[in-house]
Structure 1
Amino acid sequence: MNIIKFLREKIGYSQEELAKQIQVSRQTLINYESGRTKCSAESAKHLARIFDVSVDAILNNQLPTEPSYEVLPAKPVPAVASLRISIPQENITKFKEVFLYIINKIGSKYNVGQTVLYKILYFIDFDYYEKYEEQLIGARYIKNTYGPTPVDFAKIVRKMQNDGDCVEVKSKYFEREQTKYLPRREADISHLSGKELEHINLTIKKYEDWSAKELSAYSHKDVPWLAAEDGGIIDYEAVFYRTPETSVRESTNA
């Protein structure tokens, strides 16, 4: 098995698309996938970012020991009669507009890269569900090493980039490469209720200055993340078992 080919097909890239993303010719990518040419360090770095795996996994042609949201399929949550939701229904349009709303507000802040955005989206969704027992975006998240990861983030945002809604930018944050997203249009907030918009604004305000490390550590204390299996879907119902440290239930109006 060639890991580059396996992961490329897993996320639905053509050879031409992936070659363009990592700035090599299609023939060079074909050579990587066939094993005729060893993947360069620079290409491995780009591929690791796209596939959300380590550079070593690419260079050593090995699947990562910790599953990535793009590497392994999400594990289904067993149907239980007492659960209102097992796997939340995706709302792609709302996801796009909420994502655009967030990056319009804080996308240019020095600390706000991909990992911070993952966590803000997670807390928007799970805190809203705890407060109101309703879904806001209703995206699915899995348990990864650095905290909750939205399952379809890469595919949705890639489509948004192709449609001209946003642009991906590489930057340095404390000498480490950071993936940022900047908007190319305003969010259409007609898809959001006043209650939803207020909640999103409060969540952004709460976390906008946190580093990726701080947010990841905080998410690791959240019961939904703790209760999930590694690489498995994080169950929305687990918010009702949160500890006081992460619970937002008390802020709900009576």
Structure 2
Amino acid sequence: MLAKFIQEQRKKRNLSQEFLASTLKISRPTYMQIEQGERDLTITEAKKLAEVFDISFEGFLEGREDTKTIVKIEGKKKQKREAGEEIRISIPQQKADKFRQVLLYILKKVGGKPNIGMTVLYKLLYFIDFDYYEKYEDQLMGLVYLKNHRGPTPLLFEDLIGDMVKNGEVEIIKSKFYQYPQTKYLVNPEVEPDLSILNGKEQEHIDWELQRLSDLTATQLSNLSHKDVPWISAENSKPLDYESVFYRTSETSVREYGNTDED
């Protein structure tokens, strides 16, 4: 259990709950809820704890100690670092570029709607990816999604958005949707997505998903994702399995399966 692992790592390093709460910029009672398994970690919090404990992010999520992992994107030049025997996991540049263009396309098409904030975007990306896999048994973006108490969370999102903000492609706006705080992402009007990275079937699928889901609220989409087998079958803070889409119920399945019963 991740909560127990966090507690063990804190005690092993003689760290106080107050120190880790301050590091995560949360209150001590809120931090105590994490160690008691009553509150899920955000991706940012999980990354910060892994950094404090000096273990890889993947190892942290799996509740094990191992060598620290550096994630890099192939094709981009990185400044050399003294890494010792660190393990490196490569994210293909093609996948990162495709995610960027799909995100730009989504934001251009529906980002201006009042309900489209960070949580809704997370769920749109999730259903685009997992529904496509169920339909065609192939990956569209193929992102890694973690099980969060609000629903599936795309692992690469924060890093990509940060890069897009630095490049002037996207602006982050803090607003409210009804009485709830909302983080919106507005695309620079001069920036256009490169749709050559998508084939016709992929773009048609994205348009279909946006048409059926983009008017739903964050709560409605979160509730829908909570009924989906990939989210139900995953452990907290662990990656969702694409293969589990083939065990979906009729409520979330998007594929018409032929009758395999023999006469």
Shorter-chain TM-score above 0.5 = yes
Deviation digits for residues 124-148 of structure 1 (CA, Å, limit 9, x no counterpart): 0000000111110011000001100
Q: Which residue of the partner structure matches residue 104 of structure 2?
A: 100
Deviation digits for residues 79-98 of structure 1 (CA, Å, limit 9, x no counterpart): xxxxxxxxxx6611111110
SS at match of 1:230: coil
Per the normalisation by structure 2, the TM-score is 0.68
Q: Of the two, which has the highest radius of gyration?
A: 2
RCO higher in 1 or 2 (8 Å CA, sep ≥ 6)? 1
Pairwise CA RMSD: 2.4
Aligned residues: 194
Q: Which residue of the partner structure matches residue 151 of structure 1?
A: 155
SS at match of 2:101: helix
Residues 4 and 190 of structure 1: is their aligned pair in 2 closer, same or farther, counting only changes over 3 Å? farther
- Unaligned regions of 5+ residues in structure 2, if any? 1-14, 47-56, 63-90, 259-263
Q: Which residue of the partner structure matches residue 67 of structure 1?
A: 41
Give the Cα–Cα distance (whole angstroms) in 2 for the partners of residues 58 and 249 of structure 1: 45
1:177 equivalent to 2:181? Answer yes
TM-aligned CA deviation for residue 119 of structure 1: 0.1
Give the Cα–Cα distance (whole angstroms) in 1 for the partners of residues 111 and 28 of structure 2: 32
Residues 195 and 107 of structure 1: is their aligned pair in 2 closer, same or farther, counting only changes over 3 Å? same
Q: 2:136 aligns with which of 123, 127, 132?
A: 132
SS at match of 2:41: coil
Matches within 5 A, 1:45-124: 57-58=26-27, 62=31, 64=34, 65-72=39-46, 73-74=57-58, 75=61, 91-124=95-128
Aligned partners of 1:3 and 1:61 also within 8 Å: no
Aligned partners of 1:67 and 1:230 also within 8 Å: no
TM-aligned CA deviation for residue 171 of structure 1: 1.1
Q: Which residue of the partner structure matches residue 196 of structure 1?
A: 202
Aligned partners of 2:21 and 2:31 also within 8 Å: no
TM-aligned CA deviation for residue 176 of structure 1: 1.7
Aligned partners of 1:70 and 1:151 also within 8 Å: no
1:243 equivalent to 2:249? Answer yes
Give the Cα–Cα distance (whole angstroms) in 2 for the partners of residues 192 and 161 of structure 1: 23
Q: 2:217 aligns with which of 195, 211, 218?
A: 211
TM-aligned CA deviation for residue 68 of structure 1: 1.7
Deviation digits for residues 67-125 of structure 1 (CA, Å, limit 9, x no counterpart): 2222323546xxxxxxxxxxxx6611111110110010111101111000000000000
TM-aligned CA deviation for residue 59 of structure 1: 6.4
Give the Cα–Cα distance (whole angstroms) in 2 for the partners of residues 206 and 3 of structure 1: 42
Aligned partners of 2:43 and 2:155 also within 8 Å: yes
Q: Give the letter for the 1:69 counterpart.
A: I
TM-aligned CA deviation for residue 58 of structure 1: 4.2
- Unaligned regions of 5+ residues in structure 1, if any? 8-46, 48-56, 77-88
Runs of 4+ in 1 over 6 A off after TM superposition: none
Per the normalisation by structure 1, the TM-score is 0.71
SS at match of 2:43: coil
SS at match of 2:114: coil
SS at match of 1:209: coil
Aligned partners of 1:96 and 1:156 also within 8 Å: yes
Aligned partners of 1:3 and 1:58 also within 8 Å: no
Give the Cα–Cα distance (whole angstroms) in 2 for the partners of residues 123 and 213 of structure 1: 15
Give the Cα–Cα distance (whole angstroms) in 1 for the partners of residues 40 and 170 of structure 2: 29
Aligned partners of 2:21 and 2:28 also within 8 Å: no
